[in-house]
């Protein structure tokens, strides 16, 4: 039933592509941010709970 409903909606095949593109964009952006973080910043964040 759900398959028949989804097949009748025009343009529904675009939603998975948009979702995947959005996910990959956010994942890549945060990965780049994590790898470009300075070691001094990581040490600072690591010691915050102990201060």
Q: What's the confidence (pLDDT) of residue 32?
A: 97
pTM equals: 0.66
Phi and psi torsions of 19, nearest 5°: -65, -45
Cα 29 to Cα 51: distance, rounded to the nearest angstrom: 30
Under-70 pLDDT residues of the chain: 50-51
CB of 12 closer than 8 Å to CB of 6: yes
Q: What's the confidence (pLDDT) of residue 13?
A: 83
- What tokens does 14 get? 């675009």
């Amino acid at each position: 039933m759900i398959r028949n409903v989804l097949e009748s909606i025009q343009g529904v095949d675009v939603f998975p592509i948009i979702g995947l593109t959005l996910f990959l964009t956010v994942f890549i952006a945060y990965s780049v941010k994590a790898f470009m973080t300075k070691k001094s910043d990581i040490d600072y964040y690591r010691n915050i709970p102990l201060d």
